[in-house]
Amino acid sequence: MLEEFENYYKRFEKASIGRRIVAAFVDFFIYYLTGVILGLIFNPENNSIFSYHLEGIPALISFCLLFFLWPISEGIWGQTIGKRFLDIKVVTKKNEPITMGQAFIRFFLGFLDFFLLIGIIVAALNKDNQRIGDAAAGTFVVKSKYNG
């Protein structure tokens, strides 16, 4: 198995941790901005862009958007908007598109990775730059231009 990844690693350049962090910030900003817009539309008396409160249909819309921005877009295209912007992509060790199941594993373990920045620490210590979610799902984040 190690030899198989060695061949993979020679063909494709892994995405840097910095690039992955910036992509995550882009995605979080998009999600935050849509929440603010929903908050302003459905609760116009609260005209603050720094906080918003959603319940009912707006909260459901926000929840669905959360799933579309991360696991569904990665499961379909291998990229979120932030990853596309930074030219990185999630693939399997065989350079195949990830499955929807792998995307959801990455997403749900992302909460663990985010806690106390554990994901950054694990990725920094891992030669493949894999966070816990990547290791569990068997995925790697690579630069798109090397990914055909």
* Domain assignments of the chain as residue spans, ordered by start: 2-146
Per-residue pLDDT at 99: 97
Give the model's confidence band at 11: pLDDT under 50 very low, under 70 low, under 90 confident, else very high.
low
Its pTM stands at 0.84
55/111 Cα distance (integer angstroms): 22
Residue 43 has pLDDT above 90, yes or no: no
pLDDT tens for 94-113 read: 889 999 999 999 999 999 98
Sign of the CA dihedral 125, 141, 72, 99?
negative
Widest CA span of the chain, in angstroms?
Answer: 60
Nearest alpha-carbon partner for 65 in 101, 106, 102, 37 = 37
